[in-house]
Amino acid sequence: MRITVENANFHYKKGRKNLPNLYVNPINFSLDTGEVMAILGPNGAGKTTMLKCITGLLNWTEGQTYIDGKPLTKINKRALWKRIGYVPQAHKMVFGFSIIELVVMGRAPYISTLAQPSKVDIEAAYEALTLVGIKHLANKTCNEVSGGELQLALIARTLVSDPEVLILDEPESHLDIQKQVVILQTIKQLAKERGISCIINTHYPNHAFYLADYVLMTAKEKEVVYGQVEAIMTEQRMKQFFDVDVKKVIYEENDSIVQTMIPRALSK
Ligand SMILES: Nc1ncnc2c1ncn2[C@@H]1O[C@H](COP(=O)(O)OP(=O)(O)OP(=O)(O)O)[C@@H](O)[C@H]1O
């Protein structure tokens, strides 16, 4: 499946008044089966808004998202949500669903209105929990698990609809370093082994280096740039977009080239 965004932009409204466009120049990118794109930018740059527009939760005010060449607005919503999985930022939930109930809700596009989830739906939910490594938490309530465990459950909830594209909003935020690794490895595995295309908002340049084939970088009043990771993730661009001096370090580990970025202010 190919997801394409062409000449897109967005502005919020305040009352009847249009606020300025969030992006200085139109957004253009294309992602094929199993490819990963990371979106990076400072707080308030419009990353969450962009994910919502890509999936049709908000409507682009200019341009369009296309799925295999077909405008997203022309695709039946139920059919669309079988193909696209959206994992929002995890906020602690205060209601009492169990984790398995939360994950079964992800089968909604397959369950007809008013029908109960079937055995197949419940089996699919357990399979997804197994995949993200938290099957043992199935009967805990959302209130009883940690932020990281809830984040994994939200990913599982998306996986039960067997999506072709996974859109994740800062999935590794608020997680300890071990849980971050689990999330990143899970996403990479879904992309490379299951051919799921992934779009991920992240605040971590190193995560983009690990996961992404392409990076889209945006910041208020800065040109939106998009391209292959090596071309976009430069010291110069980090200075330009984040106003931070970083050192890009490249080294070899287990026959792979690893790239990382360290803020110079933190090196003694
Ligand atoms: N409903 C809204 N109405 C008006 N402005 C909004 C609305 N939602 C967000 N904004 C503004 O749009 C801009 C982009 O917000 P968005 O949440 O997309 O940024 P972000 O890059 O995801 O930020 P962060 O990294 O902090 O999560 C911000 O200036 C925000 O205040």
pTM, entire model: 0.91
pLDDT digits (tens, 9 = 90+) for 126-151: 999 998 889 999 999 988 888 888 88
Mean pLDDT of the residues in the chain: 91
Cα–Cα distance list, 220 to 2, 203, 208, 255 (Å): 28, 15, 20, 39
State if residue 45 touches ligand 1 by the CB under 6 angstroms criterion.
yes
How many Å lie between the centroid of ligand 1 and the Cα of residue 87?
A: 17
Ligand 1 nearest-atom number relative to CA 49? 18
For residue 106 and ligand 1, the question of a CB distance below 6 A is answered with no
Ligand 1 pocket residue status of 204, Cβ below 6 Å: no
Q: Looking at this protein, which amino acid is placed at residue 202?
A: T
The pLDDT tens digits of the residues spanning 95-128 come to 688 999 999 988 877 766 666 778 888 999 999 9
CA of 204 to the centre of ligand 1 (A): 19
pLDDT at 92: 62
Distance 221 CA to ligand 1 centre (A): 14
The pLDDT score that the predictor gives to residue 67 is 95
Q: 10-38, pLDDT tens digit by residue?
A: 999 999 999 999 999 999 999 999 999 99
∠ CA(32), CA(193), CA(39), 5° rounding?
45
Average of pLDDT values for 168-190? Answer: 88
- Whether the pLDDT of residue 94 is over 60: the answer is no
CA distance 146 to 33: 32
